[in-house]
């Protein structure tokens, strides 16, 4: 009998969402995504001490004006070092995230993205293997527009609304990551309604985005992310890509059975959907009107930043 993971792969490209290099080989994912929280978690593990020590040692051969510059450099190089290892395991893309504290600064985001790409290229990893992850703020999306125009592919992350998704697609984003589980978390915490696999608001958000993109023939890849259970994944079978944690990959791998395709270009193109026009003021207005999306976007940036600061603290302790 086929595993649910193998069955899912017939409809969607499966991506591993982790910094834990060793945990994903057996699932043969196409791509891999990381974020500052996942890199921080991986660095805590003894398994990656050698990689950590190598990055620290390499930084010592460079000159820095201040200790903070060295710490920032090491934090970037660590994310890239994990990314390089991941490119050896997956055949496709590896996503590396730009610092969250740049989420409201277009120019600084562009500059950091270019630095990351240069570092990868200097290590022999071509830019066509890397996606630069940038939060779906208005400023982040403007950075994506500039980077895509210069041949740097981006993964717009922390997508909680159709408004963000359409703005990313209009900016020419290569890929977006609409979050599922964090939307469910918000509705569970803020309403008395019961949610299950039949009315999961995170799944509904991805369906809406996917249908819109396919209806209007956007090339931007929809990669659903942030899952709380395997039913959320199963209900999105057919989405272009699904990025899944090692523990849920394991669950899908252990469960047997053929899945049904839930999303398809053909089905989406037949649905009546009104066109959405997004400009800066309408983007800010709709995001502000959407309590869940504004809260989760802001919180997501805070959480990624918090873990990046924790990573920098760990680095400082080692210097």
Closer CB to ligand G3P, 70 or 177, in the complex: 177
d(CA 132, CA 109): 10
Find the helix packing angle between 291-318 and 280-289, rounded to 10°: 90
* Residue 225 binds to ligand G3P (criterion: CB under 6 A): yes
Q: Answer yes or no: 133 catalytic.
A: yes
Instruction: For the chain, report the end-to-end CA distance as a whole number of angstroms.
Output: 52
3-state secondary structure of 93: coil
* List 106, 226, 235, 268, residue binding ligand G3P (CB under 6 A): 226
Cβ atoms of 79 and 39 within 8 Å: the answer is: yes
Cβ atoms of 181 and 235 within 8 Å: the answer is: no
DSSP 158: E
User: How many amino acids of this chain bind ligand G3P (CB under 6 A)?
Assistant: 9
DSSP 179: B
* Residue 240 binds to ligand G3P (criterion: CB under 6 A): no
Site string for ligand G3P, 179-198 (x = CB under 6 A): --xx----------------
Site string for ligand G3P, 29-68 (x = CB under 6 A): ----x-x---------------------------------
Annotated catalytic residue, options 112, 133, 214, 241: 133
DSSP 98: P
Short-list 199, 144, 205, 213, CA closest to 179 = 205
CA 32 from chain centre, in angstroms, equals: 9
Closer CB to ligand G3P, 34 or 77, in the complex: 34
The piece of 4-12, 176-184, 203-211, 259-267 that touches ligand G3P (CB under 6 A) is: 176-184
Provide, rounded to whole angstroms, the least separation between the CB of residue 15 and ligand G3P: 9
Cβ atoms of 72 and 102 within 8 Å: the answer is: no
Which residues in the 61-80 window bind ligand G3P by CB under 6 A? Answer: none
The piece of 3-11, 53-61, 177-185, 311-319 that touches ligand G3P (CB under 6 A) is: 177-185
94: exposed, middle or buried (Cβ count in 10 Å: 0-12, 13-18, 19+):
buried
Closer CB to ligand G3P, 38 or 113, in the complex: 38
* Residue 142 binds to ligand G3P (criterion: CB under 6 A): no
* Residue 241 binds to ligand G3P (criterion: CB under 6 A): no
Catalytic residue IDs = 133
Q: Which residues bind ligand G3P (CB under 6 A)?
A: 17, 33, 35, 177, 181-182, 225-226, 243
């Amino acid at each position: 009998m086929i595993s649910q993971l193998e069955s899912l792969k017939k409809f969607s490209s499966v991506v591993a969402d982790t910094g834990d290099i060793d945990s994903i080989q057996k699932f043969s994912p196409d791509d891999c995504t990381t974020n500052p929280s996942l890199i921080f978690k991986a660095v805590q593990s003894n398994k990656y001490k050698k990689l950590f020590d190598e990055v620290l040692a390499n930084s010592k051969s460079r000159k820095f004006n201040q200790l903070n510059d060295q710490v920032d450099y090491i934090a970037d190089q660590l994310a890239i070092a994990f990314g390089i290892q991941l490119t050896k395991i997956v055949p496709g893309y590896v996503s590396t995230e730009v610092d969250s504290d740049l989420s409201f600064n277009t120019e600084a985001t562009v500059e950091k993205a270019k630095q990351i790409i240069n570092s990868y290229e200097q290590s022999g990893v071509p830019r066509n293997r890397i996606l630069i992850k940038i939060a779906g703020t208005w400023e982040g999306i403007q950075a994506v527009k500039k980077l895509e125009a210069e041949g740097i592919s981006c993964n717009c992350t922390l997508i909680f609304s159709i408004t963000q998704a359409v703005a990313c697609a209009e900016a020419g984003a290569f890929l977006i990551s609409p979050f599922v589980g964090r939307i469910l978390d918000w509705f569970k915490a803020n309403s008395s309604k019961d949610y299950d696999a039949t009315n999961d608001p995170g799944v509904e958000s991805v369906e809406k985005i996917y249908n819109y993109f396919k209806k209007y023939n956007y090339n931007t890849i929809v990669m659903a992310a942030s899952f709380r259970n395997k039913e959320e994944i199963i209900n999105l079978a057919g989405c272009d890509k699904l990025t899944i944690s090692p523990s849920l990959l394991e669950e899908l791998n252990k469960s047997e059975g053929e899945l049904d395709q839930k999303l398809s270009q053909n089905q989406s193109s037949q649905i009546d959907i009104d066109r959405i026009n997004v400009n800066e003021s309408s983007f800010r207005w709709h995001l502000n009107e959407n309590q869940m999306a504004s809260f989760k976007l802001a919180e997501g940036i805070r959480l990624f930043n918090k873990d990046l600061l924790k990573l920098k603290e760990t680095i400082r302790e080692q210097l």
